[in-house]
Homo-oligomer: A and B are copies of this chain.
Amino acid sequence: MSLSEFGLIERFFCQQTLKNSTTQLGIGDDCALLNIPSGFELAITTDTMVENVHFFAGTDPEQLGHKLLAVNLSDLAAMGAKPISVTLALTLPKVNEDWLAAFAKGFLNLAQHYGVELIGGDTTSGPLTLTVQALGLVPQGKALKRSSAKVGDFIYVTGHLGDAGLGLKITQGYACNHPDEALKHFNCPNPQIETGLVLIGVANACIDISDGLAADLGHILQKSQVGACLDWEALPLSSAVQTYIIDTDDWLLPLNAGDDYELCFTVSPEKAAQLSVLCHKIGIIEAQSGLRLHKSGTLSPLEMTGFEHFN
């Protein structure tokens, strides 16, 4: 990769016309400069995706660009932060203009949708590895943390559980009659930004479901030093996932599969009426540590493990 090829790559990402009011100086100097308005905290997160680990070789580059940004914005959503800007560190084995154009399209379309400005990055030569750092604003002292769940809180999730996990199974060969919705969730997840913003002042604790409900709810339980009980009958499942479970008896999928990028959050019963977002009540926070599941009239312990990329 030569310096002129770097220029080429930069051109794909400089097409963004959006300028965010927080951006004082964007791409093109040693650093970007932001003006952070008073009364807000800056929320920061970073996530990396590696070829053959987080995505298959040959993944559609437009969907990959979308998903890379989406998984980072999802972490902002989980804090109730409004995304403002991102940097992109792109390690590429070679310069493929078609691939880059499609990747940039997927990435920048989602950025545009949420008013997120690409303010900097680094392009290097090497095995395909993609790292985003996303920045957002959250009203001072109002961020949704993992550590604030209270005994008696109701537990909610947005959207369906396990669709992305089913999408992965379909990609790996599972025959599904209606695969589109599951594949869309797996390849092209949408961060729950609007929901996160609305949960400020209502939810006590929040996390995004990237590693599976049991594992991610487990982080809330651990940080908040509480336990929880889930109700199997209350889990929101798409008809495709319901059919998959009847087919395979793999009922752990919606509890352990990753990549859903829905939000899981807890709300005090007295605030439950204030909830103005589409969500599903799936359980309750309890004083007894650990995670338990009510299923078919039986209460059983549920392991707080989830999707492990590397096993």
Contacts and interface: CB of A to CB of B under 8 A. Distances in A.
Nearest to A121: B46
A231 to B, nearest CB: 25
A133 B88 CA distance: 10
A226 interface: no
B41 A89 contact: no
A4 B52 CA distance: 21
A216 B133 CA distance: 25
A122 B47 CA distance: 6
A25 B75 CA distance: 14
A102 interface: no
B127 A122 contact: no
Give the interface size bracket for A toward B: 35 or more
Nearest to A132: B89
Contact of A89 (B3, B53, B89): B89
Interface stretch (A140-148, A238-246, A266-274, A290-298): A140-148
A109 interface: no
Contacts of A147: 29
A222 B119 CA distance: 20
Interface of A: 1-3, 5, 24-25, 28-36, 38, 41-54, 75-76, 78-79, 81, 85, 87, 89, 91, 119-122, 124-127, 129, 131, 133, 135-136, 138, 140, 143, 145-147, 206-208, 215, 223, 305, 308-311
Q: Return the 5 tightest CB-CB contacts between A and B, nearest first.
A: A50-B126, A1-B310, A30-B78, A31-B43, A127-B127
